[in-house]
Amino acid sequence: MISLEDNVGDIIGKAQRGLGISDSELEKKAGVDLQTIRKLREGNVNEQALQRIAPVLGLSAGPLCELAKGEWRPERIDERDGFAQFNTRYHDMTVNAYFVWDPTSSVAAAFDTGADCSEMLRFANRHKLNVQLILLTHAHPDHVADLPRLREETGADVFAPAREPVAGAQAIDEGKHFHLGNLEIDTRLTWGHSQGGMTYVVTGLARPIAIVGDSLFAGSMGGGNVSYRDALRTNLEKILTLPDQTIICPGHGPMTTVGEEKEHNPFFAERI
């Protein structure tokens, strides 16, 4: 089972960096001493302290405490006919890539490549998938590391966000629409973690699927490296407005759903 990408210390750190709040400022505004703040980032469970710092950081205290105590993780999502997740190691982290395909015609799209596309290629051969598209969520190296091989082995057309050009990929903007057999794929710009982060929304299977890259994780989100406020905004507007049963396929960590993130993600639970 894939572990959650972020712990409470990661979440606190992302919110502090995004808002530009130093430890000393957090101490003053939340009334929590520096030693306690540091211990929280190290994994110490102190509900009273978490409840004090959460509103200062724009986080929901309830979900933050849940995560600190290990009381929540998303329900396991079984990969049914039509989509599959792949996990590979890139340096010291695990990165996800995905296949989505039309069960009737077996035409497929790959989303990112991870560090090594070997298992994706074996899966495609085993299930006789015709991989026609490679759709990139963003251009960070861990997500496109094996693109040349995946493109060569499948002969698929490659598309990447126009804001993050990738060699050999066609540039696309928000609103680009793809047909994949009986499936439809729409594109939504969910930038903030990266300049051109793209979410791909797939309909036509039993449940809608959103491949979100590093925009959103189960119980967390990607660091707002480019714009923290825009990362929050685009996640709220472009992902968390999808139907609750929509499966969220993130670039790191386990799959989740829109409904679970609206209830359990500290960044968003009080913003919906």
CATH number for 83-264 (one of 3.40.50.720, 3.60.15.10, 1.10.3720.10, 3.60.15.30): it is 3.60.15.10
In the chain, where does the domain assigned CATH 3.60.15.10 lie?
83-264
- Quick one: pLDDT at residue 176? 98
Question: What are the pLDDT digits (tens) for 181-213?
Answer: 999 999 999 999 999 999 999 999 999 999 999
- Quick one: pLDDT at residue 48? 97
What global pTM score does this model have?
A: 0.97
Question: What are the pLDDT digits (tens) for 207-221?
Answer: 999 999 999 999 999
Q: Return the structure tokens found at 68.
A: 């600190």
Q: Return the structure tokens found at 178.
A: 């793809």
> If you average pLDDT over every residue of the chain, what do you get?
96
What is the average pLDDT across 230-234? 98
Q: Over 80: is that where the pLDDT of 93 sits?
A: yes
270 pLDDT band, cuts 50/70/90, is: confident
Please report, for the chain, how many H helices and E strands are present, in that order: 10, 14
What is the average pLDDT across 21-49? 95
Q: Which CATH architecture has domain 8-68?
A: Orthogonal Bundle (1.10)
- Quick one: pLDDT at residue 78? 86
In the chain, where does the domain assigned CATH 1.10.260.40 lie?
8-68
Task: Extract long-range pairs of 141-144: CB within 8 Å, 24+ residues apart.
Answer: 141/90, 142/90, 142/91, 142/93, 142/95, 142/114, 142/115, 142/251, 143/95, 143/97, 143/112, 143/113, 143/114, 143/213, 143/214, 143/251, 144/112, 144/113
